[in-house]
Amino acid sequence: SLVAVIDVQKILGNTSVLPEFVSYDRCQQTPTKSPTHHSDITAHLIPTRETMNTLLSRTNAIFAFTLSVLAALTLICALSTTFKAYNTSVKDVKMSTTKKLVKNVADYSAGRERNDLGFISFNLDADFAPAFDWNTKQLFLYMTAHYKTKANVLNQVVLWDHIIQRGEPTRLSLKNQHTKYYFWDDGNGLKANDNITLTLSMNVIPNAGLLPISTVPSIHSFSFPNEYITKNA
């Protein structure tokens, strides 16, 4: 007769154990193993040292560990500058206007009606080095004109922008700089307007984290003339 005997030592050492069949001789009471051995059945199910320590397995473990470390460092870098006030770090910003003209021309891209078109030149002197830290990749600066007209309570027009990348000179010293974009009004609200305000904003592009937009503490106000110009500006 055949009796199923389970080796306790194999159960403790392996999670997948099949019973080993042995036969007993009724006369001699001497157990003899059956031709089908347990080791032959489960040999292909147990990982060997050769399969666990292959080059591919070691490379996969190192790669997974490296990604985990980089993710943790990226999170720490992002959190370290989350609450930093970049707008107060840049100081002593000087901004002024040197030329202020206004024309009344037709904007054919929008229609045939005549609208006010402003022309200004400005001076800007500022050092943006304090805005660069270990998490700053580049700065995006842009100048905006804010004014009020009879048609609109608030008008905002972006006139100029500039990018400062890491490693480039951080100090700007501009003289008689022309605007990069047209100063169009959707009506006739620029002539004799004495409440034009220029503000300089800064968008910090980080290596990791949020994209904070801050207004640099520098405001300049000026007035447009009371008459249109007819010659080219």
Task: Compute mean pLDDT per 10 residues along the chain, 233 residues long, and list them.
Answer: 46 49 51 53 56 81 90 82 78 92 86 90 94 90 95 95 95 96 94 94 88 84 93 67
> CA gyration radius for the chain?
38
- For residue 32, give the H/E element and its range: strand 31-33
pLDDT given at position 74: 82
State the burial class of residue 104 (Cβ atoms within 10 Å of its Cβ: 0-12, 13-18, 19+): middle
Q: Which fold does the domain 89-222 belong to in CATH?
A: Immunoglobulin-like (2.60.40)
pTM summary value:
0.69
